[in-house]
């Protein structure tokens, strides 16, 4: 059996009522695991992009692509190779703070390029937009502070045309 | 021209070539039924229950190849269709289901008889629609027909809120909705398949329901003749190959023949046409055709490599693909391989036997085909009788053996027989059932009586839910939980109560007499209650998850 890993699949669909339910129902019915899913309209308001991160081996990925392609409202399905994927997700994290931790969190956030978007006397909210691994790393450091709530959007991705990473 | 939405539904059905619809009226489809009232071109068949209408519509489609249509009202009308929709979905049968719904103004407010049927049927339809604007109604219905019959066929549901049927709609007549083009197999891929056939020494062909739905049997037969390959089939392709054909191996799978299990196990090439290798065929996918290269031809790309890895996977319509493949295939001689299989068959094949004059399933089915010849269409319910009907089927004509294969819906048979009767009015329809299945939709006898359909029902009555009883025998140490039900139903008298002919028989002689009477009764249905032994098993049997080596033949 081939390696089980996270794969990004982008699905271009007709922007009809219920189209998301149809895609999700398919995943539920066939027992595929969704790690994250984002959906938004494209430059053409009649179509939507669904970006799905799925966990599975190559055979499962292959079946997912074929099964999603079968849906009547699917226009195209593409797996995004990791090397070609420009993927981002957004993290919002609310932390309880005191005078000691405030500056430490600020410092770490600066290193990661995260922004403090809300500051109250006892809490702050930090925003980080980045690729998944970096968000995971940021979170693992934040763990030792007093996290009140975490919100992640899940991955959205486009295929890059350039060979070099910017 | 400006017409009411309900009228537009009827006009659109007419332009799609629909002349028969099955259904049941109700509040949300009042306007549609009012439009039907005036329509002389569309015949509406009222069933006893919406499930009967759904099975009739799929039976109609299975028998004719045309798109079937069923109509039901909102709420319970719609939910009663669900089993039939799922049955059509699992067997890739093109049916358009039309449901009424509450007016758009009260949708989502838990109104009386409001159900989100589009949500319920999402995983069991090829596609479904809710018509939200009057101007969408006609294009949506046309699109439903296109989707139902294109590519791998399947059911499509169109949910129409009542106010849409009351609205004025600009309607312009149109021809039959187009079918989407199928993928074309590349010549190089066809060559790979031809090469594999050329190189094989012990090839086996395996045909499935796709051969029926693409009307490919005559061209597939040519491929069989050219390659001299022995052929096994899935339940869905029953009624194409005859037991008397030299190349016949019988059905393959859980209740397939021992010879086909042996052949698949030992073949070096399996040419699979229009099949999805279900778990009833490949009871253990890893042990299925373990030594064979697989050439898999199917119209649905998702079926290639889904269960069985195909060395050569060709995506296309069976008829078109085999037609293109045939000129590339050289004449072969498989006589040595076939005689090995013949030897095996003689020595190891299971044959059901009974005492003289004893009623046994094998002779029941064989007698039916002898009596009614290939002019008949057989429908079945689900259970032991279904497997026996498939195992002993002797007809060779596409669309003559209709069964709920994938879903395995008990209760399909009578509705299916009603549908087949309207699809093929010149052919007799024989409904094979069991005492368990018949109870499920027995009320549909009234439909056959109303429309004077001479359907002949043969109940293989063993006073048990036989297939589950058999599983309890094999896997549960003869603990027959609920399957020996103790019901006292007299099917002959029930039939008479509905206005049908009812006969009970206990011996082969009585059965033949009853069958003669049924054959000559053309103005109403007949029910023949055949009393058979409770202990009879469907054999051979490969238990689920096991392989050819674990076959049970006694």
Residue A115: domain span? 86-159
Q: What is the CATH number of the domain that holds A64?
A: 3.30.70.260
Q: Which residue has the tokens 């589950």?
A: B468
DSSP class of residue B237?
A: G
B422/chain A closest Cα distance in angstroms = 31
Q: Is residue A48 part of a domain?
A: yes
Give dist(CA B25, CA B113) in Å, integer: 13
- Residues B208, B152 within the same domain: no
The H or E element containing residue B524 is: none
Give which of B108, B127, B155, B302 to mutate to test A binding, by max A Cβ within 10 Å: B302
CA distance B511 to chain A (A): 46
**B122/A22 touch (CB, cutoff 8 Å), yes or no:** yes
pLDDT of residue A3: 79
Tokens of residue B548, six digits: 């050819």
Nearest to A25 among B123, B130, B302 (CB): B123
Does B496 have pLDDT greater than 80? yes
For residue B305, the chain A residues in CB contact (below 8 A) are 59, 62-63
Q: What is the pLDDT along chain A (166 residues), one digit of tens a residue?
A: 577 888 999 999 999 989 999 999 999 999 998 999 999 989 999 999 999 999 999 989 999 999 999 999 999 999 998 778 899 999 999 999 999 999 999 999 999 999 999 999 999 999 999 999 999 999 999 999 999 999 999 999 988 887 655 5
Nearest to B468 by CA among B491, B445, B437, B494: B437
Q: Are residues A65 and A113 in the same domain?
A: no
Nearest-neighbour CA in chain B from A1: distance (Å):
13
- What's the whole-number average pLDDT of chain B? 97
Domain termination residue (choose one: A46, A80, A114)? A80
Number of independent structural domains in chain A: 2
Min Cα separation B253/chain A (Å): 23
Domain that holds residue B518: 361-531
Tell me how far apart the alpha carbons of residues B299 and B214 are, in angstroms, rounded to a whole number. Answer: 9
Cα separation, B249 vs B200, in Å, equals: 18
**Is position A164 within any domain?**
no
The number of helix segments (H) and strand segments (E) in chain A equals: 4, 9
CA distance A32 to chain B (A): 14
pLDDT tens readout for residues B52-111: 999 999 999 999 999 999 999 999 999 999 999 999 999 999 999 999 999 999 999 999
Cβ-defined contact of B302 to A66 (cutoff 8 Å): yes
* Shared-domain flag, residues A100 and A137: yes
Residue A9 and residue A127 in contact, taking contact as beta carbons nearer than 8 Å: no
Nearest residue in chain B measured CA to CA from A74 = B127
pLDDT band at B544 (very low <50, low <70, confident <90, very high): confident
- CA–CA gap between residue B34 and residue B1 (Å, rounded): 19
Chain B hits for A59, CB-CB cut-off 8 Å, are 305
Burial class (CB in 10 A: 0-12, 13-18, 19+), B523: exposed
Q: How many residues does chain B have?
A: 554
- Which of B118, B130, B302 is the closest to A70 by Cβ? B302
Tell me the residues of B at the A interface, defined by beta carbons under 8 Å apart.
Answer: 118-119, 122-123, 126-127, 130, 132, 147, 300-302, 305-306
Tokens of B372: 């009614």
Give the pLDDT of residue A160.
Answer: 87
Is A166 contained in some domain?
Answer: no
CA distance B522 to B536: 33
- Whether residue A75 is contained in a domain is answered as yes
Q: What is the pLDDT of residue A164?
A: 57
Sign of CA dihedral B200, B204, B210, B215: positive
Question: What is the sign of the dihedral through the CA atoms of B308, B313, B316 and B322?
Answer: negative
Is the pLDDT assigned to residue B154 strictly greater than 90? yes
Name the domain count of chain B: 3
| Chosen domain end from A80, A110, A136 | A80
* Contact indicator for B77, B162 with CB cutoff of 8 Å: no
Query: Residue B150: what pLDDT?
Result: 97
Q: Which residues of B touch A72 (CB under 8 A)?
A: 126-127, 147
Q: Is A63 in contact with B306 (Cβ distance < 8 A)?
A: yes
Same domain, B315 and B366: no
Please judge whether A70 and B300 are an interchain contact, meaning their C-beta atoms are less than 8 angstroms apart.
yes
In angstroms, rounded to a whole number, what is the distance separating the alpha carbons of residues B102 and B130? 11
CA separation for the pair B337, B346 (Å, rounded): 14
Q: Of the candidates B348, B378, B407, which is a domain's last residue?
A: B348
- Of B107, B120, B123, which to mutate for an interface test with A (greatest number of A Cβ within 10 Å)? B123
With beta carbons less than 8 A apart as the criterion, state whether B96 and B121 touch.
Answer: no
B527 and B492 in a common domain: yes
Q: For residue A24, list chain B residues with Cβ-Cβ distance below 8 A.
A: none
d(CA B122, CA B140): 16
Q: Are residue B128 and residue B199 in the same domain, yes or no?
A: no
* SS3 at position B108: coil
- Same domain for B212 and B130, yes or no, is no
Q: Residue A46 class from Cβ within 10 Å (0-12 exposed, 13-18 middle, 19+ buried)?
A: exposed
A129 neighbors A89 (Cβ within 8 angstroms): yes
Residue B550 in domain: no
- Whether residues A17 and B132 touch (CB distance < 8 A) is answered with yes
Q: Provide, rounded to the nearest whole percent, the portion of chain B with pLDDT above 90.
A: 97
**Which residue is closest to A29 within chain B, CA to CA?**
B123
In this predicted structure, the answer to whether residue B469 has a pLDDT above a threshold of 90 is: yes
B302–A17: do the CB atoms touch at under 8 Å?
A: no
Question: Contacts of residue B119 in chain A, CB cutoff 8 Å?
Answer: 18, 21
Asked whether the beta carbons of residue B118 and residue A22 sit closer than 8 angstroms, the reply is no
Task: Give the chain A residue nearest B143 (alpha carbons).
Answer: A72
Residue B552 maps to a domain: no
Residue A45 lies in a domain: yes
**Chain B closest-CA separation from residue A56 CA (Å):** 15
The residue to which tokens 């028998």 are assigned: B63
| Same structural domain, A116 and A59 | no
Cα of A73 to nearest chain B Cα, Å? 9
Token couple for B203: 């090839």
Judged by CB atoms closer than 8 Å, whether chains meet at B122 and A59 is answered as: no
A49 and A100 in a common domain: no
**Rounded to an integer, what distance in angstroms lies between the CA atom of residue B440 and that of residue B461?**
14
C-alpha distance from A67 to closest chain B C-alpha (Å) = 6
Claim to verify: residue B332 and residue B474 sit in the same structural domain: no
pLDDT at position B141: 98
Contact yes or no for A63 and B302 at CB 8 A = yes
In a domain, B543, yes or no: no
Is B460 in contact with B530 (CB distance < 8 Å)? yes
Contacts of A153 (CB under 8 A, 6+ apart): A36, A38, A89, A90, A91
Size of interface A-B (CB pairs under 8 A): 32
- Tokens 């292959």 map to which residue? A62
Contacts with B140 from chain A: Cβ below 8 Å = none
Q: For the residues of B144-208, what is the DSSP string, one character each?
A: HHHHHHSSS---EEEEEEHHHHHSEEE-----PPPPPPPP---HHHHHHHHHHHHH-SSEEEEE-
Report the distance separating Cα B152 and Cα B92, nearest Å: 7
Domain presence at residue B540: no
Q: Are residues A76 and A91 in the same domain?
A: no
User: Please, which residues have CB within 8 angstroms of residue B440's CB and are 6 or more apart in sequence?
Assistant: B381, B410, B411
**How far is residue B268's CA from residue B204's CA, in Å, rounded to a whole number?**
8
Contact yes or no for A59 and B305 at CB 8 A: yes
Backbone angles phi, psi at B395, to 5 degrees: -85, 150
Which has more pLDDT, B544 or B236? B236
Whether B302 and A26 lie within 8 Å, measured CB to CB: no
Greatest pairwise CA separation for chain A in angstroms: 57
Residues of B in contact with A70 (CB under 8 A): 300-302
Which pLDDT does position B40 carry in this prediction?
Answer: 86
Give the integer Cα–Cα distance in Å for B229 and B234.
Answer: 16
Determine which of A14, A32, A70 to mutate to test the interface with B (most B C-beta atoms within 10 Å).
Answer: A70
Residue B536 placed within a domain? no
Report which DSSP code applies to B280.
T
Centre a 10 Å sphere on the Cβ of residue B224 and count the other Cβ atoms it contains: 20
pLDDT of residue B48: 98
CA nearest A110: which of A151, A149, A138, A91?
A138
* Residue A165 is assigned to a structural domain of this protein: no
Based on the fold, state whether residues B231 and B366 are members of the same structural domain: no
pLDDT confidence of residue B198: 97
Task: Tell me the chain A residues in contact with residue B123 when contact means C-beta distances shorter than 8 Å.
Answer: 25-26, 29
Q: Do A29 and B123 touch (CB under 8 A)?
A: yes
**What one-character DSSP code corresponds to residue B286?**
G
Residue B425 has pLDDT above 60, yes or no: yes
What integer pLDDT is reported at residue A6 of this predicted model?
87
Question: Residue B267 pLDDT more than 80?
Answer: yes
B8 and B122 inside one domain: yes
Q: Which residues of B touch A29 (CB under 8 A)?
A: 123
Q: Which residues of B touch A62 (CB under 8 A)?
A: 305
Closest residue to A62, CB basis, from B122, B123, B305: B305
- Give chain B's count of helices (H) and strands (E): 21, 20
Q: Which of A21, A55, A80 is the last residue of a domain?
A: A80
For A18, name the nearest residue in chain B, comparing CA atoms only: B119
Tell me: do A92 and A146 sit in the same domain. Answer: yes
Give the mean model confidence (pLDDT) for residues B18-36. 98
Q: Please report the pLDDT score of residue A4 as a whole number.
A: 81
Indicate whether B261 and B410 sit together in one domain: no
Q: Are residues B123 and A26, on separate chains, in Cβ contact within 8 Å?
A: yes
Same domain, B40 and B138: yes
Q: What is the CATH number of the domain that holds B467?
A: 3.40.50.970
Angle between helices B5-15 and B137-149 (to 10 degrees): 30
d(CA A117, CA A128): 10
Do A133 and A70 share a structural domain?
A: no
User: Does A149 map to a domain?
Assistant: yes
Peptide bond between residue B243 and the one before it cis (omega within 30 degrees of 0): no
B13 and B92 part of one domain: yes
The first and second tokens of residue B118, run together, are: 């589009």
Q: What average pLDDT does range B274-287 have in this prediction? A: 94
Single out the residue of B2, B13, B11, B346 nearest to residue B148, CA to CA. B13
The answer to the question of residue B547 being in a domain is no
Q: Are residues A99 and A63 in the same domain?
A: no
A69:B301 CB<8 A: yes
pLDDT tens per residue across span B165-217: 999 999 999 999 999 999 999 999 999 999 999 999 999 999 999 999 999 99
Tell me how crowded residue B139 is: count the other CB atoms within 10 A of its CB.
14
Q: Are residues B391 and B504 in the same domain?
A: yes
CA B517, CA B57: separation in Å to the nearest integer?
29
- B267 with B338: CB under 8 angstroms? no
How far apart CA A53 and CA A155 sit, in angstroms, is: 7
Residue B175 lies in a domain: no
Contacts of A40 (CB under 8 A, 6+ apart): A48, A49, A156
pLDDT beyond 90 at B326? yes
Task: Measure the CA–CA gap between B226 and B325, rounded to whole angstroms.
Answer: 11
What is the CB-side half-sphere exposure of residue B21 using CA atoms within 13 A? 28
Candidates B27, B28, B78; CA nearest to B53 is B78
């Amino acid at each position: 059996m081939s390696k089980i890993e996270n794969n990004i699949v982008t699905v271009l669909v007709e922007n009809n009522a219920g189209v998301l339910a149809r895609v999700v129902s398919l995943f539920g019915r066939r027992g595929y695991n969704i790690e994250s899913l984002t959906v938004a309209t494209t430059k053409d308001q009649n179509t939507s992009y669904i970006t799905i991160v799925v966990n599975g081996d190559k055979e499962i990925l292959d079946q997912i692509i074929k099964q999603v392609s079968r849906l009547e409202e699917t226009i195209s399905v593409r797996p995004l190779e990791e090397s070609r994927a420009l993927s981002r997700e957004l993290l919002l994290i609310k932390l309880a703070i005191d005078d000691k931790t405030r500056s430490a969190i600020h410092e770490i956030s600066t290193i990661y390029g995260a922004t403090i978007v809300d500051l109250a006397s006892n809490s702050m909210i930090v925003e980080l937009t980045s690729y998944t691994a970096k968000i995971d790393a940021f979170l693992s450091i934040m763990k030792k502070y007093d996290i009140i709530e975490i919100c992640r959007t899940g991955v959205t991705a486009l295929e890059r045309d350039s060979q070099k990473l910017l | 021209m400006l017409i009411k939405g309900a009228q537009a539904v009827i006009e659109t059905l007419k332009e799609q070539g629909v002349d028969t619809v099955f259904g049941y009226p109700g509040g949300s489809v009042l306007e549609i039924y009012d439009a039907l009232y005036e329509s002389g071109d569309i015949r509406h068949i009222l069933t006893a229950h919406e499930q009967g209408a759904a099975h009739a519509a799929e039976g109609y489609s299975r028998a004719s190849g045309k798109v079937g249509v069923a109509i039901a009202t909102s709420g319970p009308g719609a939910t009663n269709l669900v089993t039939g929709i799922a049955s059509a979905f699992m067997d890739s049968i093109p049916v358009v289901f039309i449901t009424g719904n509450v007016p758009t103004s009260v949708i989502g407010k838990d109104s009386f008889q409001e159900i989100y049927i589009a949500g319920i049927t999402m995983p069991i339809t090829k596609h479904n629609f809710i018509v939200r604007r009057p101007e969408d109604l006609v294009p949506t219905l046309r699109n439903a027909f296109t989707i139902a019959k294109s590519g791998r066929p399947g059911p499509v549901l169109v949910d129409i809120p009542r106010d849409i049927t009351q609205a004025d709609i600009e309607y312009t007549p149109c021809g039959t909705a187009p079918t989407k083009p199928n993928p074309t197999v590349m010549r190089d891929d066809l060559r790979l398949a031809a090469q594999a056939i050329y190189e094989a020494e012990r090839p086996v062909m395996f045909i499935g329901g796709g051969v029926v739905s693409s009307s490919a049997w005559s061209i597939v037969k040519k491929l069989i003749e050219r390659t001299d390959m022995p052929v096994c089939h899935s339940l869905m392709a029953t009624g194409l190959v005859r037991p008397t054909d030299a190349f016949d191996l019988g059905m393959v799978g859980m209740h397939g023949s021992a010879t086909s299990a042996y052949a698949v196990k030992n073949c070096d090439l399996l040419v699979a046409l229009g099949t999805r290798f279900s778990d009833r065929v490949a009871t253990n996918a890893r042990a299925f055709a373990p030594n064979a290269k697989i050439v898999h031809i199917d119209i649905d790309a998702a079926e290639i490599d889904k269960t069985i890895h195909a060395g050569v996977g060709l995506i296309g319509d069976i008829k078109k693909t085999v037609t293109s493949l045939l000129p590339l295939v050289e004449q072969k001689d498989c006589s040595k391989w076939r005689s090995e299989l013949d030897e095996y068959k003689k020595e190891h094949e299971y044959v059901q036997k009974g005492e003289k004059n004893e009623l046994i399933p094998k002779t029941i089915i064989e007698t039916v085909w002898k009596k009614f010849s290939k002019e008949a269409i057989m429908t079945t319910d689900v259970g032991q009788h279904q497997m026996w009907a498939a195992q002993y089927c002797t007809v060779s004509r596409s669309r003559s053996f209709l069964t709920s294969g994938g879903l395995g819906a008990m209760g399909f048979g009578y509705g299916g027989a009603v549908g087949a009767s309207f699809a093929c009015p010149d052919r007799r329809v024989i409904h094979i059932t069991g005492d368990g299945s018949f109870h499920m939709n027995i009320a549909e006898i009234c439909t056959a009586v109303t429309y004077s359909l001479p359907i002949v029902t043969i109940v293989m009555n063993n006073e048990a839910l036989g297939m589950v009883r058999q599983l309890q025998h094999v896997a549960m140490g003869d603990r027959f939980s609920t399957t020996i039900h103790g019901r006292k139903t007299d099917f002959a008298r029930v039939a008479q109560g509905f206005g049908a002919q009812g006969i009970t028989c206990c011996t082969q002689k009585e059965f033949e007499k009853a069958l003669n009477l049924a054959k000559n009764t053309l103005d109403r249905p007949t029910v023949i209650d055949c009393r058979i032994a409770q202990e009879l098993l469907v054999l051979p049997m490969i238990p689920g998850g096991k392989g050819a080596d674990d076959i049970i033949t006694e």
